Amino acid sequence: MNTRALPLYVTIAIFLLAWLICWTQFPAMLSSRVIGNLLTDNAYLGIVAVGMTLVILSGGIDLSVGSVIAFSGVFIAVVLRDTGLHPLPVFAMLLVLTTGFGAAMGFMIDRLAMPAFIVTLAGMFLARGAAYMLSIDSVPVAHPFFQSLQGTYWLMPGRGRLTLIGALMVLTFAAGMIVAHKTRFGTSVYALGGGEATARLMGVRQGRTTVLVYAFSGLTAGLSGIVFAIYTGSGYSLATVGTELTAIAAVVIGGTLLTGGAGYMFGTFVGVLTMGLIQTYIVFDGSLSSWWTKIVIGVLLLAFILLQKGLLKLSQDRLARGRA
C-alpha cells in the first residue's frame, strides 16, 4: 500500500464508520434530505478548504481566510445597500479584490522571505479591520436576485434539496481536484511542498507558484464569503471567527500532510463531510452539547497528526535502509 495515500484511506474509513454508526441509531441519516442539508450547511467551509488544501500542499499556511470571508459578506451587504448595483458585478469586484489580496500576501512571503504564518496573520487582522470599517453591525441583504439565489435548488430522489451553494461546493472541489492533480501548476505545488531542492530539480518557478497559491486561496475565500452571505442573508464583521482553523483541521483530517507535498483534494472533501456529520449527529441526538463537535474534531486532528508523524518516520527509515 502507498503510505502517502494511507491517511486518505483512513479518512474514508472513519467517515464510512461514522455514517454507519449514525445510521444504526438514526435511519434517516441516509435520506437525501440529510445529504442535501450536509452539503448546504458546510458549503462555505468546503469552498475555503479547497484553497487551504493547495496552500498546505505547498508547505504554507493561510490564517487570513476567516477574516476574508467576513469582509466579503460585509462588503457585499454594504455595497448592495448603498448603491444600485446588481449583485453579479459586486461579486466580480469582490473576487478580484480577494484574489489580489491573496496574491499580495504570496508576493510578500516570496520576495521578502517572510514566514507565511506572520504574513497571513497580519492579513487576518487587516481583513477583519477592513470589515469593521465598513460596518460593525449585521447588515441584511434584501436584493431580489439575492433572494432568488437563496431559493434555488434541485430536487433529489427522496425529496432532498441540493441547493445552489451545496452544488457550488461540489463543483469547487471538482475544479480543485483538476487543478491539484491534473495540471502543471498542481505538480509545481506538490514539488514546492516537497522542499526547495525538489522544486529546483523540477524547474519550478517558486515565486510565481507561491503567488498563485495564495491568490487561489484568496479567490476561494472570496467565493466562500459570497456563499456565506447567501446562506445567512446578511454580512457581519464578527462572523466566521476561527474558520481558518476549522479549514486547516478539515484539510489535515482529510489526510494532507501539514509539512506539505502530500495529500489529496478528495480527502479534504471527505474531511469536511466528516466534520459536518459530527454536527448532524449531535443535532439528531438532541441531548449532547455542541461543544462535543470541537472535542471530537480535536481528537481526530491529534490522531491524524500522530499518523502523519508515524508515516514520516516510516518513510525516513525506508530511505535509510535503501541507502545502506
CATH of the domain at 92: 1.10.3470
Band of pLDDT at residue 164, cut at 50, 70 and 90 = very high
Residue 310 has pLDDT above 80, yes or no: no
Cα separation of 159 and 36, whole Å?
Answer: 10
Band of pLDDT at residue 53, cut at 50, 70 and 90 = very high
Cα separation of 90 and 93, whole Å?
Answer: 5
Range of the structural domain that residue 172 is part of: 3-316
User: Distance of alpha carbon 184 from its chain centroid, rounded?
Assistant: 22
Answer whether residue 177 is part of any domain. Answer: yes
Identity at 224, one-letter amino acid code: S
Nearest alpha carbon to residue 119 among 110, 134, 108:
108
E strands, the chain, where? 139-140, 153-155, 161-163, 234-235
Distances (CA, A) of 9 to 3, 12, 173: 10, 5, 18
Cα separation of 106 and 108, whole Å?
Answer: 5
Per-residue pLDDT at 102: 94
Instruction: Kindly state the average pLDDT of the residues 47-58.
Output: 93
Express each pLDDT in 73-97 by its tens digit: 999 999 998 888 889 999 999 999 9
Residue 288 has pLDDT above 70, yes or no: no
Q: What total of structural domains would you count in the chain?
A: 1
Looking at the chain, the whole-number percentage of residues with pLDDT higher than 70 is 92
Express each pLDDT in 237-286 by its tens digit: 888 888 899 899 899 888 888 877 788 999 999 989 988 888 888 888 77
Burial (CB < 10 A; 0-12, 13-18, 19+), residue 61, is buried
Answer whether residue 324 is part of any domain. Answer: no
Start-to-end Cα distance in the chain: 23
Answer whether residue 17 is part of any domain. Answer: yes
Whole-structure pTM value = 0.90
Answer whether residue 323 is part of any domain. Answer: no
Nearest alpha carbon to residue 72 among 47, 91, 51:
91
Express each pLDDT in 184-225 by its tens digit: 888 888 888 877 777 777 777 888 889 999 999 999 999 999
Answer whether residue 321 is part of any domain. Answer: no
